Amino acid sequence: MPLELVLQYFLSGLIYGCIYAAVAIGFNIIYNATAIINFAQGEFAMLGGMIASTLAGILPLWLAVAAAVALTSISGVAVERVFLRRVARSGVLNTIVATIGLSMLIREAALLAWGESVRTLPFFSGTEVSSVYFLGAHFSPQVYWVAGATALIMAGLTAFFKFTLMGKAMRGCSANRDGASLCGIDPDRMVTIAFGISAGIGALAGCVVAPLTQTHYAIGAELAIKGFTVAAFGGLGNSFAAVLAGLALGMLESFSTVVVPEAYKDVVTLCVLLALLFAKPTGLLGSRAAATLKEY
């Protein structure tokens, strides 16, 4: 395979890997706070891209993206306050079914609001023409934004969980809910914040990849399952591992088109998911303790 082709596959893997990682981080934040796997996670990325593409018509791009992230965060908070809080204590099966229902509702609402058309965002800097050539492959300038946003999300989350009081409170809450409430932390509030953060991260990821991958009302379900694959691959709850796993999955998917037809690309990914779940349900990089289903 010529070198420029390898590079091109690598770039495409990097872009998809970053968005899978961002969705997986969203899964992890909510999972750590509540032990819920939020099947509506992919819809947040869809919402971010769609809202930004609408607002980009009337606002400067950076403001449109910021507004999209903020609005999606608010909808994440609303989803938790209005629905999931009531369902969360009635068992794992019920929360799974409820979050699936929610994802359908969000998607159908998006279909009503935006129709079936595929939308996109302008490049954050430069244009398609200003691609940088490197060893014969073209790098769209947006790639820097995608990689940069992922790095920023990781750095921001690390700082948040390590150095801020609220971040520490959330970690305390996920380690021991009862213990945390004895220390004066309100677990319900932490859960709400977790949903807000996770929806915002999803939205940001949805925005930065939108110029490259485009966005559509129905992309959420696919992102959710890929994101979960990545989260499970890295071990549920482990966000650093999620980035590595996301990149690995992106690369696998991208390079798999060399050997299998494009139409079967997802089959490869999902077979990896099944094989992984069968062989090592705790995740390749995860510990058994972190992956045990938490019961609240």
> Strand, helix or coil at 94?
helix
> Least Å distance between CB 35 and other proteins?
9
* Contact of 99 with 107, CB cutoff 8 Å: no
What is the footprint of other proteins within residues 65-124 (CB under 8 A)? Answer: 83, 86-87, 89-98, 100-105, 107-109, 111-112
Q: How far is the CA of 159 from the CAs of 18, 105, 168, 286, in angstroms?
A: 20, 34, 10, 22
> What's the rounded Cα separation, in Å, for the pair 173 and 188?
10
Contact between 155 and other proteins per CB under 8 A:
no
Residue 58 CA to residue 169 CA, distance in Å, equals 39
Tokens representing residue 46 in the block? 């869809």
Q: How far apart are CA 158 and CA 228, in angstroms?
A: 21
88 versus 210: smaller Cβ distance to other proteins: 88
Binding mask of the shown chain, residues 238 to 267, with x at each position contacting other proteins by CB under 8 A = -----------------------x-xx-xx
Position among 2, 274, 287, 288 found at the interface with other proteins (CB under 8 A): 274
What is the full DSSP assignment across 74-95? HHHHHHIIIIIHHHGGG-HHHH
Q: Which of 71, 225, 230, 247 binds other proteins (CB under 8 A)?
A: 225
Contacts with other proteins by CB under 8 A lie at 37, 39, 83, 86-87, 89-98, 100-105, 107-109, 111-112, 221, 225, 228-229, 232, 261, 263-264, 266-267, 270-271, 273-274, 277-278, 281, 293, 295
